[in-house]
A = this chain, B = another copy of it.
């Protein structure tokens, strides 16, 4: 399963570091472009949150709980734990008659600089609502209310996770290759890069008037682009990219170098995995692919932010830059 060189870091006229990986662009007729190995087996990690949220919507649980579009965005989010995020999650739980202790994601210091400072400089400890996956877990709790399952909703045999697994296998078109425990304790199902891209293509091509599942997919992808700041946060790649593409494309990062994109106008899905797991490279690679597909204006500032032709040091001197490897896009 040999990955292909995708992103290079250059300094002083020499190639200093290289990131290799796998990427697939999937269209209505199947895989249209492949870099690396389409059948590389990966953990999608957070990139598949919109798949994990399908049962929440298609089951009727979201509507039974009166969820708004912003809740669906949070259900797909790896949020930064800013006040914006934690207040929304706290309110969601409260509306369910639930609280922080009902979550099963664990707590960590959030990424948002202000929030992080607060926890570094005071005695306060973060709660589970600060966990970047707390929106996804609030979605699980909402589904659980509907399915009337027990409290341990992240167990692999719990009705919530069985519903997630079924949706995952159906939209990827693969029996899961295995599963791992994610950082947030939810199961993360493994699949090939191609299968993940196929799932994103399903989301892209889904019509609101289609099946229950297609309608759910449409609602989720629309929620992501309607609330890009909830899906990630200020200065985050997902938020900046979705804003740059004016709501036309939904993107989602996953830990360990994963990125996906849903392009409804093109009816295409994209999935990529950087073999070494590095986020700077997954951000650069998804940016390159989005430009290549004509979905992202190469002159938009976000392109230079995520795939900088020119990198500068602490005195602003040019030191080198990032490039697409030969043969990539």
Contacts and interface: CB of A to CB of B under 8 A. Distances in A.
Interface residues of A, number: 52
16 contacts: A12-B188, A12-B190, A13-B180, A14-B177, A17-B256, A17-B277, A106-B316, A107-B314, A114-B120, A180-B320, A181-B313, A181-B320, A182-B313, A183-B313, A183-B314, A185-B317
A131 B314 contact: yes
Interface string A123-141: 0000000010000000000
Interface in A269-301: 274-278, 281
Interface string A181-194: 11111001010000
Contacts of A9: 256, 277
Nearest to A315: B106
A212 interface: no
A16 interface: yes
Contacts of A166: none
A177 B14 CA distance: 9
Q: What are the 5 closest A-B residue pairs judged by CB atoms, nearest first?
A: A12-B180, A106-B314, A17-B277, A106-B315, A11-B180
Interface of A: 9, 11-14, 16-20, 41-43, 104-108, 113-114, 116-117, 120-121, 131, 177-185, 188, 190, 256-257, 274-278, 281, 313-320
A117 B118 CA distance: 9
Contacts of A316: 106
Contacts of A180: 11-14, 16, 319-320
Q: Which of A14, A281, A314 has the largest count of B CB atoms less than 10 A from its CB?
A: A314
Given A12-B190, A181-B319, A183-B313, A17 B105 contact: no
